[in-house]
Amino acid sequence: MKKIFLIVAGLSLGVAVTSCSLEKFPETMYAENNTSGTGDAETAINTRELLEGQLTAMYNYMKGDLQTYWYQLITLAESRADNAYGAANEAKTMAVEQNQIDSDSEFASNLWNYSMNAVDYANQVICNIDIVKENDPSLTEKEYQEWLSEALCWRAYVWMNMMQLFGEIPMLTEIPPAINAGNVEEVYPLYFPARVSKQTVGEQIVKDIEEYACLYAPDTDASNKFRITKGFAYGLMARFYSMREFRDWSKVITACQAVEGMGYGLCDSYGDLWAYTTGDTGMAAMNTRESIFEVQ
């Protein structure tokens, strides 16, 4: 089954120049006085309201700061697939087209850094939801299962992209505590984790998505594709089991059949996927039955 992810991408660059600062604890560097972790009373996420805010922040990141990530991810994919070509005198995109990305190009660093930030947004939900469940009875079991599934799916999606781009990657599954002089050697590896094998990441994805999110993610909502649902979870597993390192065509078929059973299908007109119109969105058709997830 064909899956379409509709992304509105934009790129903005800015440079700021400042003079020297004589602040004792400047915000631009580490100091014990300006660093706090989730263990601090003021920053602990321990209520349903705070957790919901973290889930909202995860989605807002997708349609906000992550626009550069979407743009560069699409550029990499389409250029390497020979569907698009670098513009004249545009060194960055020409390097992508020629498969000659070097250290002067921000494509690699941007895709890495934005990915790590995206994982952190997911972990803010994943790593705190059990604390909230224990401390705040207003969090229902349904909300617990759905919110956790949404965050697990998003983290797995980012990890899969990272593996395809970089190979072995850091698999950060916890939120590092605040660094201080007494624990720096213990905590430092959590802030800068070592890479692990694709097999290790794959085992975690199977546990998180196939064994959990496919069961408990929110049901499909045809009117709102800007939410991670069971369709997203099963679509993710179809993609996962089509990857060379984890290939299992029988599981790809099973996952695709599950997606089709949720009401997804090809649009009657192929042109609906690309038609534009005047207005705020520019899209002639949104939330089509062919679309599994849209960043709107």
Look at 27-41, 46-60, 125-139, 241-255 and tell me which has the smallest mean pLDDT.
27-41
pLDDT reported for residue 137: 96
Coil, helix or strand for 256? helix
The span from the CA of 11 to the CA of 114, in Å, is 13
pLDDT reported for residue 280: 67
Name the more confident of 40 and 144: 144
- Tell me the per-residue pLDDT of 1-50, one tens digit each, with 9 for 90 and over: 444 343 333 323 333 333 344 444 444 444 444 333 444 444 589 999 99
| Predicted confidence band of residue 279 (pLDDT cuts 50, 70, 90) | low
Per-residue pLDDT for 228 more than 70? yes
Q: H helices within the chain, ranges in order?
A: 48-63, 67-80, 91-97, 106-126, 129-135, 141-166, 184-191, 198-205, 214-216, 230-240, 249-260
The span from the CA of 218 to the CA of 226, in Å, is 12
pTM over 0.75: yes
| Predicted confidence band of residue 92 (pLDDT cuts 50, 70, 90) | confident
Q: Residue 76 carries which DSSP code? A: H
Side-chain-facing half-sphere of 2: CA atoms under 13 Å? 10
pLDDT reported for residue 121: 96
Name the more confident of 6 and 99: 99
Q: With both helix axes pointing from N to C terminus, report the angle between 48-63 and 141-166 in degrees, rounded to the nearest 10.
A: 30
C-beta atoms surrounding 286 within 10 Å? 13
pLDDT reported for residue 89: 67
- 250: which residues sit within 8 A by CB, 6+ positions away? none
Percent of the chain with pLDDT over 70: 83
pLDDT reported for residue 26: 47
Domains and CATH numbers, the chain: 4-12+46-294 (1.25.40.390)
CA distances to 57, 150, 169, 173, 210 from 240, in Å: 26, 17, 16, 19, 10
pLDDT reported for residue 39: 44
Instruction: Compute the mean pLDDT over every residue in the chain, rounded to the nearest whole number.
Output: 84
Look at 14-23, 132-141, 266-275 and tell me which has the smallest mean pLDDT.
14-23
Closest CA to 147 of 41, 54, 273: 54
Q: What are phi and psi of 223, to 5 degrees?
A: -90, -10
pLDDT reported for residue 46: 92
What is the residue-wise DSSP string for 153-221? HHHHHHHHHHHHHHSSEE---SPPPPP-TTTHHHHHHHHSPPEE-HHHHHHHHIIIIIIIIHHHSPPP-
CA dihedral 23, 27, 31, 35 (to 10 degrees): 140
- Tell me the per-residue pLDDT of 147-162, one tens digit each, with 9 for 90 and over: 999 999 999 999 999 9
The span from the CA of 100 to the CA of 132, in Å, is 47
Give Dmax (Cα) for the chain.
Answer: 64
